[in-house]
Amino acid sequence: MLAKKTSKNQLTLPKGIVEHFPETEYFDIRVEGRKIILSPVKITSAAPIEAIRDKMEKLGLKPSEVPGAVKWARKKKK
């Protein structure tokens, strides 16, 4: 199947391809060599702040401890 790049650098995916991804609205795009790779992505919304606060409370995490917790979570594993 062919897809033509428009003057606005847009591609329309052929119907025969998109039929395989009926629930997909977004695709991750990357280049490998001279190939363009599209991978279906499901976008989910972030947890509401209330849910985050509830989890912090259940864990006994105080707001003043959040920066330390973030630093711990971001450090590289050895």
Given a contact cutoff of 8 angstroms between Cβ atoms, the answer to whether 13 and 27 are in contact is: no
Q: Grade residue 63 by pLDDT with cuts at 50, 70 and 90.
A: confident
Please tell me whether residues 36 and 55 are part of one structural domain: no
Structure confidence by residue, pLDDT tens digits, 31-49: 999 999 999 998 877 778 8
Q: Domain tally for the chain?
A: 2
Please state the rounded mean pLDDT for residues 11-27.
Answer: 93
Please tell me whether residues 40 and 51 are part of one structural domain: no
Please tell me whether residues 23 and 59 are part of one structural domain: no
Given a contact cutoff of 8 angstroms between Cβ atoms, the answer to whether 26 and 41 are in contact is: yes
Please tell me whether residues 38 and 61 are part of one structural domain: no
- Residue 69's identity, in one-letter code, is A
Domain that residue 57 falls in: 45-78
Please tell me whether residues 51 and 70 are part of one structural domain: yes
For tokens 């795009």, the residue is 29
Q: Model-level pTM?
A: 0.51
Of residues 46 and 54, the one with the higher pLDDT is 54
Q: Give the CA distances from residue 53 to residues 9, 44, 48, 64, 65, in Å, rounded to whole numbers and listed in that order.
A: 44, 19, 9, 13, 13
CA dihedral 33, 38, 42, 44 (to 10 degrees): 50
Please tell me whether residues 18 and 40 are part of one structural domain: yes
Please tell me whether residues 5 and 33 are part of one structural domain: yes
